[in-house]
Amino acid sequence: MNVAVIAYRAGRLTVLDQTRLPGASVAVELDGLEAVEVAIRTLQVRGAPLIGITAAYGVCVALREAGKPPAAPVALRICREAIKRLAGTRPTAVNLFWALERMTRVVERHGVGTPGGTPDGRPGLLPALEAEAAAIHEETRVQDAAMAVHGSALIPAGAKVITHCNTGPLATGCGGTALGVLIAAHRKHGNDGGIHVLVDETRPRWQGAHLTTWELKTLGVPHTLICDNAAAMMMRLETIHSVWVGADRIAANGDTANKIGTYSLAVNARHHGVSFYVTAPSSTVDLTLADGAGIPIEHRDPAEVSAPGGRAIAPPGTPASNPAFDVTPAELITAIVTERGVHRGPVYDLRRDLG
């Protein structure tokens, strides 16, 4: 893709506003901490890995927002407050907290050192934070490339697959997770033997319809948009090789939180004998959680269900529930693909494999 999903250059953070897709490709500058918070909350940036990268750069933006390098105690206070505020933007995607924990370690290592540098030769606080955020971004690129290799080896030429939500470059700022695997598989087999992707629309925000189809069209990968509730029929009537999804948080036993609708897709895949794959970097695995019961589920504005896009589709005052994620039990997952390889189920011990 020739569109920069996220860029941090000369202290300026710009992102592709994903709420404007597919109609327009608009880059916006996040020129302060509040702008970064709003971008994450309102889904201008979304996808677990990209949220983490954005938050990491957001700490740098917050310190730069203060103007000339502030006194050390002030700089540390600014960073700690930024980390606290960014951690409150979205609760489910563990990459957010993983990235902010890394930024916290940088802040605490500097203690009361000066923002411009320390007597023992360590870089100043801001350069150290910017280096750590850039490292998180680069590690994501490397991880995405590795997952694409591991996952694409599981997909034969000519396969028809289903995917849910958006897990491509827009979700990571790099190659993508599950969709990155599918893109790699298509390129591997070539146009004549390439794959075909059935894209769930992914209500109520339509990330599949708005974003995944845009990516696949841009990259020349054959695809068909389907209603979420058509997936089971497709599995029954057509030869579906596999289902590929990403993840926002994976527990140590393999239970996986992902966009709402993933659980039902996994149940239908099991019923129809279709392989179900989760693709995510190891940073998405929360080894502090034994199982999915402890994964916090974000509940978003009910109006996203009752009045999507601001257009009411139900009578005024109709109660609506809007959980943004669900948890798929590990026993329904054929394998979890990380940058370290393919972890096969139905029984997982990710503390052993990734700890």
Per-residue pLDDT of the chain (355 residues; tens, 9 = 90+): 556 999 999 999 999 999 999 999 999 999 999 999 999 999 999 999 999 999 999 999 999 998 877 878 889 999 999 999 999 999 999 999 999 999 999 999 886 544 455 544 456 899 999 999 999 999 999 999 999 999 999 999 999 999 999 999 999 999 999 999 999 999 999 878 889 999 999 999 999 999 999 999 999 999 999 999 999 999 999 999 999 999 999 999 999 999 999 999 999 999 999 999 999 999 999 999 999 999 999 999 999 999 998 999 999 999 999 999 999 999 999 999 999 999 999 999 999 999 8
Pinpoint the residues of the chain covered by CATH 3.40.50.10470: 150-354
Q: Which residues are catalytic?
A: 248
Nearest 5°: the CA angle 157, 49, 123 is 130
Q: Does the bond joining 346 to the residue before it have cis omega, within 30 degrees of 0?
A: yes
Gyration radius (Cα) of the chain, Å = 20
* CATH H superfamily, domain 150-354: Translation initiation factor eif-2b; domain 2 (3.40.50.10470)
Residues 75/63, Cβ–Cβ less than 8 Å: yes
Helices of type H across the chain: 33-41, 48-65, 72-87, 94-110, 125-152, 169-172, 178-193, 207, 213-219, 231-237, 262-271, 303-306, 350-354
For CA atoms 352, 53, 181, 346, give the dihedral sign: positive
Of 22, 38, 21, nearest in space to 30 by CA: 38
1.20.120.420, 1.10.260.40, 1.10.10.410, 3.40.50.10490: CATH of 6-142: 1.20.120.420
Parallel/antiparallel/unpaired status of strands 160-163 and 242-245: parallel
Please give the pLDDT value at position 1.
Answer: 59
3-state secondary structure (DSSP) of residue 111 = coil
Nearest 5°: the CA angle 307, 308, 313 is 45
Please give the pLDDT value at position 115.
Answer: 47
Phi, psi (rounded to 5 degrees) for 300: -100, 180
Question: Alpha-carbon distance 167 to 26, whole Å?
Answer: 20
Question: Alpha-carbon distance 210 to 207, whole Å?
Answer: 5
Residues 332/261, Cβ–Cβ less than 8 Å: no
State pLDDT tens for residues 101-160.
999 999 998 865 444 555 444 568 999 999 999 999 999 999 999 999 999 999 999 999
Please give the pLDDT value at position 116.
Answer: 52
Judged by phi (left if over 0) then psi (alpha if -120 to 50, else beta), residue 335 lies in beta
Residue 66 exposure: Cα atoms within 13 Å on the Cβ side: 21
If you write DSSP's letter for every residue of 123-142 in order, what string do you get?
A: BPHHHHHHHHHHHHHHHHHH
CA distances to 27, 44, 285, 317, 336 from 176, in Å: 19, 17, 16, 39, 15
Mean pLDDT of the chain: 94
Pinpoint the residues of the chain covered by CATH 1.20.120.420: 6-142
CA distances to 6, 131, 255, 280 from 11, in Å: 13, 12, 39, 29
pTM for this structure? 0.94
Phi, psi (rounded to 5 degrees) for 310: 85, 5
Phi, psi (rounded to 5 degrees) for 162: -115, 140
Of 223, 222, 230, 219, nearest in space to 199 by CA: 223
Both tokens of 338, joined, read: 């990380």
